[in-house]
Amino acid sequence: MASDPADVPPGETSVSGGDPMVNVLIYLIATIGVGVQVYAAVTHNLWWAPMDPFPTVGLIGALTMTLGTAWGAVKGSSAAWIVFIGTLFCWAFYIPGLGNLLGTMQQSMMEGRVSLASASTYLPLLPPILLAIATYTSLMVGPMGKTQD
Protein backbone atom coordinates (compact mmCIF):
# COMPACT_ATOMS: atom_id res chain seq x y z
CA MET A 1 0.00 0.00 0.00
CA ALA A 2 1.09 3.54 -0.60
CA SER A 3 2.54 5.45 2.30
CA ASP A 4 2.90 8.85 0.58
CA PRO A 5 -0.37 10.78 0.16
CA ALA A 6 0.60 11.57 -3.42
CA ASP A 7 0.84 7.83 -4.20
CA VAL A 8 -2.72 7.07 -3.06
CA PRO A 9 -4.88 6.32 -6.14
CA PRO A 10 -8.00 8.42 -6.85
CA GLY A 11 -10.91 7.40 -4.65
CA GLU A 12 -8.53 5.82 -2.12
CA THR A 13 -8.28 8.49 0.51
CA SER A 14 -7.58 8.28 4.19
CA VAL A 15 -8.63 10.70 6.90
CA SER A 16 -4.99 10.72 7.96
CA GLY A 17 -4.08 11.73 4.40
CA GLY A 18 -2.01 8.60 3.81
CA ASP A 19 -2.54 4.88 3.77
CA PRO A 20 -6.19 3.75 3.52
CA MET A 21 -5.32 0.80 5.77
CA VAL A 22 -5.26 3.26 8.69
CA ASN A 23 -9.01 3.56 8.19
CA VAL A 24 -9.34 -0.22 8.22
CA LEU A 25 -7.50 -0.31 11.54
CA ILE A 26 -9.84 2.33 12.98
CA TYR A 27 -12.86 0.36 11.75
CA LEU A 28 -11.47 -2.90 13.16
CA ILE A 29 -10.87 -1.49 16.64
CA ALA A 30 -14.32 0.12 16.73
CA THR A 31 -15.99 -3.05 15.44
CA ILE A 32 -14.37 -5.17 18.14
CA GLY A 33 -15.38 -2.74 20.90
CA VAL A 34 -18.94 -2.41 19.66
CA GLY A 35 -19.22 -6.14 18.96
CA VAL A 36 -18.35 -7.06 22.55
CA GLN A 37 -21.03 -4.80 24.01
CA VAL A 38 -23.64 -5.82 21.43
CA TYR A 39 -22.88 -9.49 22.05
CA ALA A 40 -23.36 -8.98 25.78
CA ALA A 41 -26.67 -7.20 25.15
CA VAL A 42 -27.90 -9.89 22.75
CA THR A 43 -27.06 -12.75 25.11
CA HIS A 44 -28.74 -10.89 27.96
CA ASN A 45 -31.71 -10.32 25.66
CA LEU A 46 -31.94 -14.00 24.73
CA TRP A 47 -31.82 -15.47 28.21
CA TRP A 48 -32.87 -13.04 30.92
CA ALA A 49 -34.92 -10.16 29.59
CA PRO A 50 -37.99 -9.57 27.47
CA MET A 51 -37.33 -9.09 23.76
CA ASP A 52 -35.94 -5.68 22.87
CA PRO A 53 -35.20 -4.74 19.24
CA PHE A 54 -32.19 -2.50 19.93
CA PRO A 55 -29.62 -5.27 20.52
CA THR A 56 -30.72 -6.93 17.28
CA VAL A 57 -30.29 -3.65 15.41
CA GLY A 58 -26.88 -3.23 17.04
CA LEU A 59 -25.94 -6.76 15.99
CA ILE A 60 -26.88 -5.99 12.39
CA GLY A 61 -24.75 -2.83 12.59
CA ALA A 62 -21.77 -4.66 14.08
CA LEU A 63 -21.98 -7.34 11.39
CA THR A 64 -22.21 -4.67 8.68
CA MET A 65 -19.17 -2.92 10.13
CA THR A 66 -17.33 -6.26 10.16
CA LEU A 67 -18.23 -6.77 6.50
CA GLY A 68 -17.00 -3.28 5.59
CA THR A 69 -13.79 -3.75 7.56
CA ALA A 70 -13.11 -7.08 5.86
CA TRP A 71 -13.88 -5.59 2.45
CA GLY A 72 -11.46 -2.74 3.06
CA ALA A 73 -8.73 -5.08 4.31
CA VAL A 74 -9.03 -7.63 1.49
CA LYS A 75 -9.62 -5.29 -1.43
CA GLY A 76 -7.48 -2.48 -0.07
CA SER A 77 -10.19 -0.11 -1.18
CA SER A 78 -12.42 2.25 0.67
CA ALA A 79 -15.34 0.47 2.26
CA ALA A 80 -16.42 3.63 4.05
CA TRP A 81 -20.01 3.52 2.81
CA ILE A 82 -20.53 0.01 4.18
CA VAL A 83 -18.97 0.92 7.52
CA PHE A 84 -20.97 4.16 7.68
CA ILE A 85 -24.26 2.29 7.23
CA GLY A 86 -23.18 -0.13 9.98
CA THR A 87 -22.37 2.75 12.32
CA LEU A 88 -25.85 4.18 11.82
CA PHE A 89 -27.36 0.88 12.96
CA CYS A 90 -24.99 0.82 15.93
CA TRP A 91 -25.96 4.35 16.95
CA ALA A 92 -29.60 3.22 17.02
CA PHE A 93 -28.45 0.68 19.62
CA TYR A 94 -26.29 3.09 21.64
CA ILE A 95 -28.31 6.32 21.84
CA PRO A 96 -31.06 5.04 24.21
CA GLY A 97 -28.48 3.32 26.40
CA LEU A 98 -26.20 6.35 26.54
CA GLY A 99 -29.08 8.53 27.71
CA ASN A 100 -29.84 6.04 30.47
CA LEU A 101 -26.16 5.63 31.43
CA LEU A 102 -25.51 9.36 31.61
CA GLY A 103 -28.65 9.90 33.70
CA THR A 104 -27.60 7.12 36.09
CA MET A 105 -24.07 8.52 36.33
CA GLN A 106 -25.41 11.99 37.09
CA GLN A 107 -27.73 10.64 39.81
CA SER A 108 -24.92 8.55 41.34
CA MET A 109 -22.56 11.54 41.41
CA MET A 110 -25.21 13.70 43.06
CA GLU A 111 -25.67 11.05 45.74
CA GLY A 112 -21.91 10.75 46.20
CA ARG A 113 -21.69 7.07 45.20
CA VAL A 114 -19.44 7.62 42.17
CA SER A 115 -16.54 10.00 41.79
CA LEU A 116 -15.34 11.59 38.57
CA ALA A 117 -11.99 9.85 39.02
CA SER A 118 -13.46 6.34 38.97
CA ALA A 119 -12.17 4.53 35.87
CA SER A 120 -14.97 1.95 35.97
CA THR A 121 -17.44 4.79 35.48
CA TYR A 122 -16.05 5.61 32.06
CA LEU A 123 -15.22 2.11 30.81
CA PRO A 124 -18.68 1.50 29.25
CA LEU A 125 -18.20 4.72 27.25
CA LEU A 126 -15.10 3.43 25.40
CA PRO A 127 -16.95 1.55 22.60
CA PRO A 128 -19.27 4.51 21.84
CA ILE A 129 -16.21 6.77 21.67
CA LEU A 130 -14.56 4.33 19.26
CA LEU A 131 -17.81 4.22 17.30
CA ALA A 132 -17.83 8.03 17.09
CA ILE A 133 -14.29 7.96 15.68
CA ALA A 134 -15.24 5.26 13.15
CA THR A 135 -18.37 7.19 12.18
CA TYR A 136 -16.37 10.36 11.60
CA THR A 137 -13.70 8.49 9.63
CA SER A 138 -16.20 6.67 7.42
CA LEU A 139 -18.21 9.86 6.89
CA MET A 140 -15.18 11.88 5.82
CA VAL A 141 -13.87 9.16 3.51
CA GLY A 142 -17.20 7.96 2.10
CA PRO A 143 -20.25 10.24 1.84
CA MET A 144 -18.46 13.55 2.47
CA GLY A 145 -15.14 12.58 0.89
CA LYS A 146 -13.73 14.23 -2.21
CA THR A 147 -14.89 12.79 -5.49
CA GLN A 148 -12.82 12.80 -8.65
CA ASP A 149 -14.57 14.46 -11.61
Could you give the CA distance from residue 89 to residue 55 in angstroms, rounded to a whole number?
Answer: 10
Could you give the CA distance from residue 8 to residue 45 in angstroms, rounded to a whole number?
Answer: 44
* Other C-beta atoms lying within 10 Å of the C-beta of residue 82: 21
Residue 66 has pLDDT above 60, yes or no: yes
CB 27 within 8 A of CB 70: no
Could you give the CA distance from residue 20 to residue 78 in angstroms, rounded to a whole number?
Answer: 7
Residue type, 70: A
Nearest C-alpha neighbor of 5 from the set 16, 15, 18: 18
Q: Exposure pattern of 97-120 as b/e (b: 16+ CB <10 Å)?
A: beeeeeeebeeeeeeeebeeeeee
Q: What number is the average pLDDT over the span 103-131?
A: 78
Q: What is the pLDDT of residue 41?
A: 84
User: What is the value of pTM for the model shown?
Assistant: 0.75
Could you give the CA distance from residue 29 to residue 125 in angstroms, rounded to a whole number?
Answer: 14
Q: Determine what percent of the chain is predicted with pLDDT higher than 70.
A: 73
| Lowest mean per-residue pLDDT among 40-49, 57-66, 81-90 | 40-49
Could you give the CA distance from residue 51 to residue 49 in angstroms, rounded to a whole number?
Answer: 6
Q: Determine what percent of the chain is predicted with pLDDT higher than 90.
A: 31
Q: What is the pLDDT of residue 79?
A: 82
